Structure 1
Amino acid sequence: MGLCFSPEQAESFSEIEGLIESSQTIAICAHTSPDGDALGSTLGLRQVILSKWPDKCVVGLLADDDQVPRIYSYLPGAGQLVHASDFDESVDLFVSVDVSVASRLNEGEKVMRRARRTAIIDHHPCDDPEADAYFIRPDAAAVGVLVCEFALQLGVEVTADIARCLYCAVATDTGRFQYQNADPESFQVASLLVDAGASPSELSLNVYQNFSLSYLHLESLVMGRITTFADGKISYSYATSADLERTGASLDECDGLVDVVRSVASSEVALFLKEVPGNKVRGNLRSKTDKDVSQVARSLGGGGHKAAAGFTVEGDIDQALASALPQLVALFSDARKQEGNDSE
């Protein structure tokens, strides 16, 4: 399988194109706590629209009041993103990328509610999308893949700046093409983007080889706390607000720590918890096998994919562990029960 040009995708993209065509003011926003796919797709889609319709007013929004994470600040247009809480206009069209659930837009939800029309481009499963037009394809490795294919359908030239943004989206959401979602389509899109001017070394130097000393000190603490459950099949660790204060690391540097926990030999599921402001704990879940961690995230008010999901809960680290660990253990208990039923 290479690039996807299915009739269903083409029809959905045409509906979104129609909304863009009939709109003069457009806002694009991704989910709260944006990752590389969220930011890369937001920036890439904005440039795609402006390339096709240069007379339109298109603004990229940040769902939260935080700044763009330092490791993604190199992306073209990152400095032009606007905090949704500071954006008072009522736009003709609001486009959600990498998110289908309105509540995960945080401050962006208010802008969405004021918009005349709404659209969604996403790869997270959603049973009841709230939009005038949408395309949601859970088997896509990243929204960056879908935005690239949308650009190709529109006949937009993929410029170097578009390619740099979308390559970040695809490469980060596939874990540098190491996760289970790294499929032939993602490699073909990546090849197209590199050919258009994206630089794998630029991404690597900015995202994966750009850690502050304070972050590395925090990572050593997290590594020292890694604990396993269920005969080593579950690994978890955590970082407290005191850890962040003591090391000087920032919250936006913590996203990659789940991969440190994930790297434990024999572990199939990884959990990383970090305390965030407001007496809350944010959890990152990863699965290295067929275990579906998204169901655990959804039960805790979050969401995501089978192999990568997240959630935020009220309370402290101990309370978050008490909520999440039994459900993760149950993933393996349920599997053993199923194996027993199959053998009967």
Structure 2
Amino acid sequence: MHLPLETSFERVRQAIHSYRNFIVTTHVNPDGDGIGSELGLSRFLQGLGKNASVLNSTPTPRNYQFLTKNGEVRLFDPQNPTQHLMEAEAIFILDISKWERLGPMKEVIRNHPAIKICIDHHPLNGDFADVNLVCEDACASGQLVLELIDSMNGTLTREIAEPLYASILTDTGTFRFPNTNARTHAAAARLLSLNIDSSQIYEQIYERCSPGRVKLLGMSLCNLEYLHSGRLAWMMVTQAMMRQTGVEMEEVEGFVDIARGIRNVEASLLFLELSDERVKVSLRSKGDIDVNQFAGKFGGGGHRHASGILLNGPIGTAVNQVLQETHLLFQISHKLVS
């Protein structure tokens, strides 16, 4: 059941007032919004005198590690659950509303007796958590965390503002994506008023790539192909390509957006080989093309213009499976504008 947004804010505020021990987490392979929103929230809770720990199932990508303090983000170990997790009274799940996206933490969190609170800006997948603070109009989960803090008349410090700014910066594509609006810029201005160094944050995230990443990008662009009279562009990155260039999987982030920027391209796909039997498909679009609806046909999802799919099987099978259905992207678009 979807509650009015203010009702959801109030339920979250009540939980914060009622409990002392919190776990804050996000999805596997966390992006800037996942990392930024959980760091901002956990630091705010600590400022209230709460015990709040960030616990993730996969490591923080290298380009976001500057946001964290030593030991601030703990890595989940299924064989050795932390004392913080066992004692948690409330668990915040940020930037996702699907249990599967918690990876190896899925069952542990789902079956934990603590109250579960979701803060997200993706479409809600049924009754996900006990409390769902979900607003699809928000540009990022970090924006909702900022609005939660302000709704509590909370103290916003530079240490809280920096990761929340990174959250908004990355999930709006540096304020380029259609989810950028007056509310977005008002939130950014609020955070910038704390004298955070926006240029340094941008540089740390976007201008510290390895030479291997540049080489891998060149290789992937060399295999770029087009379908549907140039309206769709797709490319792939294999395990062999990453080994050849010495690149970690996290460094592939952003490749799919480059393909979307090509003239006349309305949708772009990137097939990333996670293992011999696991493939991640990143989808981007512009205009009326709804990649979220298309991704849903394969059990994936996200936003209208940015979504993802996880498929089991070899990368060649995944490519064939998805590409043979891409005509539906443009049928979906036609229905939306008819």
TM-score if structure 2 supplies the norm length?
A: 0.93
Aligned twin of 2:56? 62
Aligned twin of 1:81? 73
User: Would the aligned equivalents of 2:97 and 2:125 in 1 still touch at CA under 8 Å?
Assistant: no
Q: Give 1:211 deviation, angstroms.
A: 0.5
Name whichever of 243-252 and 84-93 sits farther off: 84-93
157, 160, 178: which one aligns with 1:159:
157
Q: Give 1:144 deviation, angstroms.
A: 0.9
| Cα distance in structure 1, aligned partners of 2:269 and 2:117 | 32
| Cα distance in structure 1, aligned partners of 2:203 and 2:232 | 31
Letter in 2 for 1:289: G
| Cα distance in structure 2, aligned partners of 1:81 and 1:334 | 41
Letter in 1 for 2:8: S
Aligned alpha-carbon RMSD (Å) = 1.8
TM-score if structure 1 supplies the norm length?
A: 0.91
User: Would the aligned equivalents of 1:43 and 1:78 in 2 still touch at CA under 8 Å?
Assistant: no
Letter in 2 for 1:323: Q
**For 1:26, what is the secondary structure of its paired residue?**
strand
User: Alignment identity in percent?
Assistant: 28
User: Would the aligned equivalents of 1:31 and 1:104 in 2 still touch at CA under 8 Å?
Assistant: yes
231, 242, 245: which one aligns with 2:243:
245
Question: Once the two structures are superposed, what CA deviation does each residue of 1:2-42 show, in whole Å capped at 9, x if it has no partner?
Answer: xxxxx933321121121122222111111112110011001
Structure 2 unpaired stretches of 5+: none
Aligned twin of 1:138? 136
Does 1:329 find its partner at 2:323? no
Name whichever of 143-152 and 71-80 sits farther off: 71-80
Question: Once the two structures are superposed, what CA deviation does each residue of 1:37-72 show, in whole Å capped at 9, x if it has no partner?
Answer: 011001011011112x21x211111122xx210100
Aligned twin of 2:215? 217
Does 1:98 find its partner at 2:92? no
| Cα distance in structure 2, aligned partners of 1:338 and 1:202 | 41
Aligned twin of 1:121? 119
Aligned length: 330
| Cα distance in structure 2, aligned partners of 1:337 and 1:166 | 37
39, 45, 50: which one aligns with 2:46:
50
Question: Once the two structures are superposed, what CA deviation does each residue of 1:88-115 show, in whole Å capped at 9, x if it has no partner?
Answer: 4321111111011112111232134213
2, 8, 11: which one aligns with 2:7:
11
User: Would the aligned equivalents of 1:84 and 1:111 in 2 still touch at CA under 8 Å?
Assistant: no
User: Would the aligned equivalents of 1:161 and 1:197 in 2 still touch at CA under 8 Å?
Assistant: no
Question: Once the two structures are superposed, what CA deviation does each residue of 1:288-323 show, in whole Å capped at 9, x if it has no partner?
Answer: 112110122222222101111111111222211222
Letter in 1 for 2:53: V
User: Would the aligned equivalents of 1:29 and 1:108 in 2 still touch at CA under 8 Å?
Assistant: no
Aligned twin of 2:304? 306
| Cα distance in structure 2, aligned partners of 1:280 and 1:127 | 23
Q: What are the within-5 Å matches in structure 2 for residues 241-280 of structure 1? A: 241-277=239-275, 279-280=277-278
**For 1:106, what is the secondary structure of its paired residue?**
helix
| Cα distance in structure 2, aligned partners of 1:338 and 1:263 | 23
226, 236, 239: which one aligns with 1:228:
226
| Cα distance in structure 2, aligned partners of 1:299 and 1:121 | 25
